[in-house]
Amino acid sequence: MKLEPLLLEISEYCRQVGLAESTFGRAAINDGKLVSRLRNGGRITTETLDRIRGYMAANPAGEGRRLIVQRRTPSPRHQDAALGPTAEQQSSTRNQALASLAAQELSPSPAEQQITRVTNEPSVDARQNFRFYDNRQKYLLFVNTCSEKWEIANRVSLELANLHPRPPALRVFDAGVGDGSVLARVMRSMHDRFPTMPFFIAGKEISLEDVRLTLQKVADRFFEHPGTVLVLTNMAYADAPRLSVRSLKAASSLVWHEVALRGNTSHSFEEQITALEPFLTANWKATVNPQTGGSLYERPVVLVLYREDHRFLLDPIIPRLGATAANYDLVIASQPYRARASTEFKARRVIAPLVRALGPGGRLIGIHSYGHDPAMEIVHKVWPNDEPFITNRHDLLKAVKTELGAAGRDLNFNANSDARSLFRYDMHTLPSEVEGSIGTSTLFAAWNAAIYVAQVEDERLAPVVARGDYLDATRQVLQEHGGLWFYDESFVISRRRD
């Protein structure tokens, strides 16, 4: 039988009920690895299928209902003897051997059983999802109404002139692909400058929605630049450049999926990329770290895309599990952290690990918001003392230098002058839109962009939006300046060539 519909059904059920898939497996058939085995190609008997369906029917996912795992007590382990990967599925997933080995080592002590109960409390997941989608709306409106991502791509593309790639490929790492606007534009620019050089491009992105948006933008890249290997992963900063996780526990659930795109048209590539949808839905899952509020993947995933008809040429750069070197020519760190995070956090947890991933002659370009612009005037009219941009590039570079210590000896830290570092981007408006009476949709777009860039928390927004005068503040600033614009600042950290 086809397992994808069942896997989708299970993952949707787990999402609605607020259960981890491992818990679901244990609850339904006393096998915490059920879902991961199915996902990795395991088969299933009709008897087990009946038990799974029976469990879901007996515990329907109703409104506001979720199952809470209260207690776990040891019980004999059950495993479906028929579960095991087919040969075809084995060949498409390179990590099988390692994953199953690690899974055996790490199997929870004799299987567990949980007592479940139904409650009407909204789950933590549900509350966090609400925040997540709320922010998504702001991000997507911002990306589509302002020119920031174009300007960032232009700034990043200037760095291409300073690269000295060595065979077998030009290697780029995007430390947070977002909706893929920056990466797709940079890839076009890379082709323009290096039309015949093979590209190895790895991007980190934990959000499923962003991975979808990015993949929608890349089909034509394989047409125009056939020598492209594009890798997307949800791994953390410290692991993503090497495409391998240090934690054995995470390694045991790692999914490595290689897709050799057939055909030679953008349309056929797009069709095959779109067909990855169920794979992404099933695997690219994130939860929220209860301690930090940051995102956590459920399992590490690596998706590798290249053209099948160029496999021979690309063989030296198609990544192999556990064998990816972090020696990038270019690392893009565009808006990679929350503005209000401490300078030390930004240096230690984000920039320093990325700098370590630079190869000889490699360059990291960092970009974050600068403020001192009409958008901040809107924010200050509502919250006069708000200062979101607490870290400037000079302080950040100092902190990264300190963090790297002796390992920073062969690096140059280029803060550059304001004239070189700062760049402006605008909200797109029609000339008529900001003259006379400004339309409500323009006001909303401007307000959204201002509070999005200033990363104003939802809790602070609610009372202001209820009062309604924020639109007057926005209108005044738009009228005074005849539009809305913002400043970002950039910096470069480069490794010496020898």
Ligand X SMILES: C[S@@+](CC[C@H](N)C(=O)[O-])C[C@H]1O[C@@H](n2cnc3c(N)ncnc32)[C@H](O)[C@@H]1O
- Applying CB under 6 A, the residues found at the interface with ligand X are 135, 139, 148-149, 152, 176, 178, 182, 334-336, 369, 453, 455
Q: How far is the CB of 363 from ligand X (least distance, A)?
A: 16
Q: How far is the CB of 9 from ligand X (least distance, A)?
A: 29
By beta-carbon proximity to ligand X, the closer residue of 119 and 289 is 289
By beta-carbon proximity to ligand X, the closer residue of 100 and 455 is 455
Q: How far is the CB of 404 from ligand X (least distance, A)?
A: 22
Q: How far is the CB of 366 from ligand X (least distance, A)?
A: 11
Q: How far is the CB of 368 from ligand X (least distance, A)?
A: 8
By beta-carbon proximity to ligand X, the closer residue of 333 and 415 is 333
By beta-carbon proximity to ligand X, the closer residue of 317 and 453 is 453
By beta-carbon proximity to ligand X, the closer residue of 131 and 311 is 131
Q: How far is the CB of 132 from ligand X (least distance, A)?
A: 9
By beta-carbon proximity to ligand X, the closer residue of 132 and 194 is 132
Q: How far is the CB of 34 from ligand X (least distance, A)?
A: 33
Cα–Cα dist 39/25, whole Å = 13
By beta-carbon proximity to ligand X, the closer residue of 329 and 489 is 489
By beta-carbon proximity to ligand X, the closer residue of 55 and 485 is 485
Q: How far is the CB of 176 from ligand X (least distance, A)?
A: 3
By beta-carbon proximity to ligand X, the closer residue of 149 and 242 is 149
Q: How far is the CB of 294 from ligand X (least distance, A)?
A: 12
Positive or negative, the CA dihedral 183, 184, 187, 188 is negative
